[in-house]
Each structure stands twice: as structure tokens, then as C-alpha cells.
Structure 1
Amino acid sequence: MAVRESEARRSEIVRLARSSGLASVDDLSAQFGVTASTIRRDLSQLTSQGLIARTYGGAIALDPQQESSLRQRALEGFDAKRAIAEWSASQVRPGETILLDAGTTVGAMGEFLRDIEDITVIAAGLTALESLADADSVRVECIGGTLRHLSQGFVGPLAEATLQRVTFDRAFLGADAVTADLGICEAELEQTRLKEIMIARADEVYVLAHAAKLGQRPFHAWAPIPPGTTIVTDDSADIGETASFEAAGMRVVRV
């Protein structure tokens, strides 16, 4: 429990630093009800992971336009991601073949899929592979291709060729951000090209994105998402933002 509380606190520190620019040790200590030394340890760990840059007496976030690594993202919205992953896994039925995209939220589905009978998981990244590596009851296939070290997902012509030879009952996609008009935002075009193929090969499409990702435009590579797509987010999502997806013919699930 203490570990989870620490992770949640550090995730919130990053969010505060990004939204307000500067957060002092004293303010953070008072806000979270912990000692200043605990906050300093948090800041030291977040700095070593590249999530923030330290300043005297506080912390300032890095450029939000810079793509963060998978390790950095793991601390962001921890509880929300877990809830999203658990609900998404509950949609999978025995005997289905599903795709798990790269990313921390989609990867978190692995622990909730272990007891579903006779499923095949096609993994597009290391997070899904690692979460199911010892799940003997789950058949796991890997799309292969070129590994993007930042996202730990596979991309490129080999990955695309593999996807063109399979279909899925359900595809669970991650995103750096998602909007109702433009779709899924990613750092590079080869990522969005891969997502377009995933969408085309799936009967049901789910985009897993915690509230902070909705309506954002951090990069300039996009994969359109069709009406009927399910957007799975957390219960802190802005009602006006989720309404824009519903107006575009998408289903929104808040967990």
C-alpha cells in the first residue's frame, strides 16, 4: 500500500509541475501531508527518471512537447490506468483473439487476462509481452519489427506485414493523446500508420487514454479513429471533452 501511495504522490507531483510550472518543496509537503525529506526523495527519483528538472527549493517539469519514455509514463495516472486496464480486460471473452498495443495502460491489462480461457493475445510491444510472459494459459504472438526504445513498441514494415496477415476480435490501442476530430496522436508517423492497420483489422476498437490525454495535441502525427470506437478513460475526465467524442459517434466509458 505504501508503495502505491508513493507512486500516486509522485505522479501527482509531475502533473502539478507541468500545470503550474513550479512547485516548492514546502508546498508539496503541506499538500501531501508528508515530510520535506520525503518530498526531496520523490523529487530526486523523478529527476533521475527524467520526469522533472530540479530547481532550488522545488521542481519544474520538462518540456511537455518532448516525448517521454515508457518508464517515465509508468508513474503518470497510475490508479486511473489500472482501472482502465481492468475494465478493458473485462470485455474480452473466452476464445477471442485480441491485439494489445504498446504502452503502459494497455500493458497493464495483462494481469487481468490470465484467467480468461482460450484467448490469443497478439502483442505489439514489450509491456504486453512482459505482463503475459509467464501466463501459460494465454497464447501469445508477437508482431515483431523494429523496436522503438522510448515506447517499447514494435513498428516498421515487418510489423505492418504481420498485422496484414491477422484479424482481431478486439484491438486495445494506446495513445500519446486523442481528440474527437483528429484521432490518435503519436510522436512519429510510423506509429500512426501501424494504428491505422490495427483499426482496420479489428472488429471492435478500444482506445485507452486517461483523462489528461483527452483533447491534447502534443505532436503532429495522427491516426483517424472511426465512429463506433470505444474511448476508455477515467472518471476525472471533463464532461465537455467526452461529449465531443460522443458527438462524433464514439462510445465513451468512464471508469
Structure 2
Amino acid sequence: MLSAHARREEIYHLAVTTGLASVDELSSRFDVTASTIRRDLALLNGQGRLARTYGGAMALSAHPEASLRQRTGEAFEQKQAIARWAASTVQPGENILLDAGSTVGALAHELRDFDRLSVTTPGINTMQELADSEGVEVDCLGGRLRSLSQSFVGPLAETALERMSFDRVFLSADAVTAEDGICEADHSQTRLKELMARRGDDVYVLADSSKLGLRPFHAWARLPLPWTLVTDDGADAKQLEKFRDSGVRVEVVAVVDEDVDHRSPVTSEP
């Protein structure tokens, strides 16, 4: 079990990266009482690091949107497992669209040795992963650079998309809910994701289990059904049921400890 100091530091980190820390969610996450969490939040508030809200707290001193560099190191094993599953769906000769983001960047890494693959992306990290791949042809969606996400957005990227179509589209998300779809920090991101989803025969949202059901921001992308949520086996069963009930296909990927087992990850449909 975490020490009180370590727990408070983790609470602060969660508030910074997700925007809001809920007493109930934090109590469940750290397996402590709600009263303990309230005391933690009161202390962090007294230190000027968090602002108290009804039912929780939010960060004061940092941008609530984590940078791509910050996100790359979070849920690393889960993102790798999701990326390996996503790569297994791609066939040689296909034309695919890869979003920006850390999980899609992990997918790009898995695709480096593919032969006869065409990839279009707005993400700088995705382009870097595939830059030296002899069998992968890469097209960049240009536009206005968002430094936090290291991706291109805006009218230029949107106009280019209208002239393209894809066998598969792989989208990232800051958060995703069954009711409203993909949640992002900026409306230019959600606009681009909506256009991406319209241009693909098969659409996948790659989101580790920590992102399900959250609402850290106020920009949303609604995706036309059917689309597939790909997440890891740490996902809450009730959250997964919400997605299935709304008509979303769900793939749950087992996270394998590579130090123990080198087999490929498997999926389940609980």
C-alpha cells in the first residue's frame, strides 16, 4: 500500500493529467475511505496545489492536458498490448490512417516491418516511428501544429481528408465514453477525429482502461456506428457493458508480463 505522501502525490498527478479528482473514484482507486481522501485533498488545497470542488478537487498549477511526452510513459504495458492487437488486424497492401497519440504511436512502432503498407497520419511521433520503414509509404496530414499533442490540426488537414479513404482508421483519445464518444482538450482535435472516422471502412479507438468513462475536457467527437473500442483487461466490466449496449464493438486485450511470458496477447469478450 502507498504511503500517505505517495498517495497524495499520485492524487495530484491524476488531477493534473485528467483535470478532476473525484473523492469516490480516488477512494476506490487507492482502497482507502472517503474521509481519508478528503483529508488528502484538504492538505493539497492548503498547499495551494489543488482547488476544492464539490465532490473532489482540480489542479491549480498545471495545464490539465498532459503532453505527448508525459502520456507516452503512462500505462505503458497496456498501450503496448493494445498496439500489438491493433497491428494484427492490418493486412499488407492496405491503406490506413493513424491518429496522433501515444497508443497509436505504439501501433506505428509495431508496423515498422510491414511490407506494402500505406499510412496517412497527422502525428509527428507516428511519422518518426515509420520514417525508416522501407515497406511503409507515409503521407502527412499537414496543418496547424498543436505542440502539446505533437500533431497537425485545422482546415488544411480537414480538406486533405475529404479527398482520401482508408481500409482502417485508428484513433486515439484523452478519454472515451459510451454516451458521447471521444473526449479531447481542443475542438480542433475532435473535429479532425470525426472526419477521420467518416473516411474509414473500419474504425478503431485505442484507449487503455484508465480512459474509459472519464470526462476531463469539454470537446467531444461522436463517431458513427459501428466502431470498435480496443482496451485492456483492466477495464471495468460495467463500463464495457455500457459501450456494448450502445452498439460499440469491444475488444479486450490481455496485458502480458513480458518478463514472464513472451506469447502474443489474447482477447476476450466477457
Counting matched residue pairs gives 207
The one-letter amino acid of 2:202's match is E
Which residue of structure 1 aligns with residue 117 of structure 2? 119
Q: Equivalents in 1 of 2:153, 2:95: separation in Å?
A: 20
Which residue does the alignment assign to 1:135?
133
Give the match for residue 83 of structure 1: 81
Backbone CA RMSD of aligned residues = 2.3
Q: TM-score, normalised by structure 2?
A: 0.72
Between the aligned partners of 1:251 and 1:132, the Cα distance in structure 2 is 28
Looking at structure 2, the residues matched to 204 and 15 of structure 1 have their Cα atoms a distance apart, in angstroms, of: 37
Deviation of 1:114 (Å): 2.4
Identity level (%): 53
Structure 2 contact 112–129 (Cα < 8 Å) conserved? no
Q: 1:106 to 1:122 in 2, by over 3 A?
A: same
**Partner of residue 247, structure 1:** 245
Contact 2:161 2:195 in 1 (8 A): yes
Task: Please state whether the residue corresponding to 1:99 is helix, strand or coil.
Answer: strand
Report the 3-state secondary structure (helix = DSSP H, G, I; strand = E; otherwise coil) of the residue aligned with 2:119: strand
1:196 match: 194
Give the letter aligned to residue 199 of structure 1. A
Q: Letter of the aligned partner of 1:213 in structure 2?
A: K
Deviation at 1:226, TM superposition (A): 2.4
* Contact preservation (8 Å) 1:65, 1:219: no
Distance verdict in 2 for CA 1:248–1:20, change over 3 Å? closer
Counterparts of 1:90 and 1:15 in 2: how far apart (Å)?
Answer: 36
SS of residue in 1 equivalent to 2:66: coil
Structure 1 residue runs without a partner (length 5+): 1-9, 22-52, 54-60
Given that 1:227 and 1:248 are in contact with CA atoms closer than 8 Å, whether structure 2 keeps it comes out as no
Q: TM-score, normalised by structure 1?
A: 0.76
In the TM superposition, residue 110 of structure 1 has moved relative to its aligned partner by: 1.6
2:178 alignment partner in structure 1: 180
Cα distance between partner residues in 1 of 2:209 and 2:139? 30
Q: CA deviation at 1:112?
A: 1.4
Q: CA separation of 1:164/1:195 partners in 2, compared to 1, >3 Å: closer, same or farther?
A: same
Per-residue Cα deviation, 1:116-153 (whole angstroms, up to 9, x for no partner):
32110001111110110111110000011111000011
Consecutive aligned runs of 4 or more in structure 1 exceeding 2 Å deviation: 13-21, 61-65, 114-117
Q: Does 2:246 align with 1:227?
A: no
